[in-house]
Amino acid sequence: MAKMDVIGKRFGRLVVISRKGDERPLRYQVVCACDCGKEWNGYLYSLTTGYTRSCGCLQDEVRGQSSIGIQRHRDLSGLEFGRLTVLKRIGRKYSNRSPLWACICSCGTEYQTTSHSLVVAGTKSCGCLQKEAAKKLMTKHGRYKDADYIHELSLRRSAWKRCGTKEVVEPAVVYERDMGLCQLCGLPVGPGELHIDHRIPLVSGGEHSYENCQTTHGACNYKKGRKMPDECGFLWARS
């Protein structure tokens, strides 16, 4: 089989100058000049298959653009990461030698952190963001240490204490009376969906009695919350 004429042809950044020799295995090896000025020696099939496109400089450039190391050591002064604004570099962290930066949080707290934490780990605050998220998880409505919410909780607790002295309401009896239909949206209540709601909420003075209890879906009950019956017309849109 005749040799492929590749002298002078370009493959990516490489231009073929000559072959290594005329006999096997040198006939399958070529000498190339790269655009960066370096010389590359290798097999011809690496060029024809597209596996090799440079002497290695192209990979170095791509690796450098996405290198975490370069990102970590670049100047971050004035940049914002979530609630943090980087002020200046103040040294290095002894454990991993990552640059240490002085930052100011939007809450007014001064905070020190590393380039790795900002660029790679995704630090967004001095810790206030995590605290706020934790507070929302601690309460159902995200109203941690809210005076109105605490008062509402006390009303609920006292209302349920009063329920302990009242008659016991059987959900099955209420379900049978309401023919298995949700009294808020009008749709049938399937197995596992049954909730017993108080028409007039306990915190608003309602009684825990058969007359004040009604069959509802769990989702409808949560949407109703402590609303009065005349405020729940929007739930009928579900039907």
Same domain, 28 and 106: no
**Separation between Cα atoms, residue 112 and residue 124, nearest integer Å:** 12
Is the residue at 160 inside a domain? yes
Average pLDDT of span 171-175: 86
Domain that holds residue 22: 10-63
Number of folded domains that form the chain = 3
Question: Whole-model pTM?
Answer: 0.33
CB neighbours of 232 closer than 8 A, spacing ≥ 6? 184, 224
50 with 74, same domain? no
As a whole number of angstroms, the distance between CA 53 and CA 46 comes to 9
Asked if residue 100 and residue 51 are part of one domain, the reply reads no
- Higher-confidence residue of 136 and 175: namely 175
Same-domain pairing of 20 and 85: no
The answer to whether residue 224 sits within a structural domain is: yes
| 108 belongs to a structural domain | yes
The reply to whether 182 falls in a domain is yes
209 shares a domain with 179: yes
- The answer to whether the CB of 7 falls within 8 A of the CB of 17 is yes
In a domain, 96, yes or no: yes
How far apart CA 92 and CA 98 sit, in angstroms, is 5
pLDDT given at position 1: 38
- Residue 138 lies inside a defined structural domain of this protein: no
Does one domain contain both 197 and 123? no
Using pLDDT thresholds of 50, 70 and 90, give the confidence band for residue 85: very high
pLDDT at 96 over 70: no
- Please check whether residues 173 and 216 belong to one and the same domain: yes
How confident is residue 160, by pLDDT bands cut at 50, 70 and 90? low
